[in-house]
């Protein structure tokens, strides 16, 4: 059972950090490429080295190896937010491991680009970790699949062999945030605000274009 009171009492919780990003899940579903299999990602999750989960390890140090230097500013911000929060730190570390495993274990087919790393790391650290402890991602098959599906979604990929409609249906069955009634209301409210913001931006862009045309 998820203790919702701790999210209501805190002015800034991990879930707040996720919602504040303003990510539009519905829009993401429209542009996904085919990715690696869930079985392969699940195997990688099960084989994460303990060093990645050690609280003394710097997330930025791990990421520096992935990028061959300092990570980009947005990813650095996500890592700094996650580092002091135990569950979020472990969630972020697991996301980083899935990229690092391509070098340490072997390449995924297809490989997972790091272009959407900030939002993918944020999804595991701030969206999933506060709801399902990352330890369960490594030991429970259903929660492991949930973590793998969430990671692929926010990296911009579909699980191998699945269409967008099938993947979305299966994801909604696994999504612990969506399956909790109280949290479902939070998620729906967030999505509504994202859609309203998108409409306002679209309207502003059209008005700006019209003014430019008349000038």
> For the segment 116-142, what is each residue's pLDDT rounded down to a tens digit?
999 999 999 999 999 999 999 999 999
Q: What is the pLDDT of residue 175?
A: 93
Measured between alpha carbons, how far is 61 from 70 in angstroms, rounded to an integer?
Answer: 8
Q: Are the C-beta atoms of residues 152 and 171 closer than 8 Å to each other? A: no
Q: 67 vs 194, which has greater pLDDT?
A: 67
End-to-end Cα separation, the chain, in angstroms: 59
pLDDT score recorded for residue 10:
40
b/e code 33-54 from CB counts within 10 Å (16+ = b): eebbbbebbbebbeebeeebbe
Residue 59: how many other CB atoms lie within 10 Å? 24
Predicted confidence at residue 4, as pLDDT, reads: 44
Report pLDDT digits (tens) over 35-56. 999 999 999 999 999 989 999 9
Residue that the structure tokens 């392969």 belong to: 40
Using CA atoms, how far apart are residues 134 and 143, in angstroms rounded to an integer?
A: 9
pLDDT at 9: 39
Whether residue 92 is predicted with pLDDT greater than 90 in this model: the reply is yes
Considering the chain, what is the average pLDDT of its residues?
Answer: 85
pLDDT at 194 over 50: yes
Confidence of residue 148 (pLDDT cuts 50, 70, 90): very high
What per-residue confidence (pLDDT) applies to 28? 95
Whole-structure pTM value: 0.80
**Which pLDDT belongs to residue 7?**
40
């Amino acid at each position: 059972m998820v203790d919702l009171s701790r999210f209501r009492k805190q002015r800034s919780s991990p879930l707040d950090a996720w919602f504040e990003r303003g990510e539009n899940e519905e829009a993401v579903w429209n542009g996904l490429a085919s990715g690696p299999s869930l079985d392969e990602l699940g195997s990688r999750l099960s084989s994460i080295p303990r060093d990645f989960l050690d609280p003394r390890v710097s997330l930025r140090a791990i990421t520096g190896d992935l990028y061959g230097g300092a990570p980009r500013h947005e990813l650095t911000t996500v890592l700094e937010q996650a580092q002091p929060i135990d569950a979020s730190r472990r969630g972020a570390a697991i996301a980083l491991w899935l990229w690092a495993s391509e070098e340490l274990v072997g390449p995924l087919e297809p490989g997972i680009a790091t272009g959407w790393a900030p939002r993918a790391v944020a999804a595991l650290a701030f969206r999933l970790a506060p709801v399902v402890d990352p330890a369960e991602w490594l030991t429970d098959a259903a929660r492991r699949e949930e973590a793998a599906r969430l990671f692929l979604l926010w990296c911009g990929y579909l699980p191998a062999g699945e269409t967008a409609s099938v993947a979305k249906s299966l994801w909604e069955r696994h999504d612990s945030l969506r399956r909790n009634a109280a949290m479902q209301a939070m998620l729906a409210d967030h999505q509504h605000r994202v859609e309203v913001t998108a409409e306002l931006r679209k309207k502003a862009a059209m008005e700006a274009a019209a003014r430019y045309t008349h000038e």
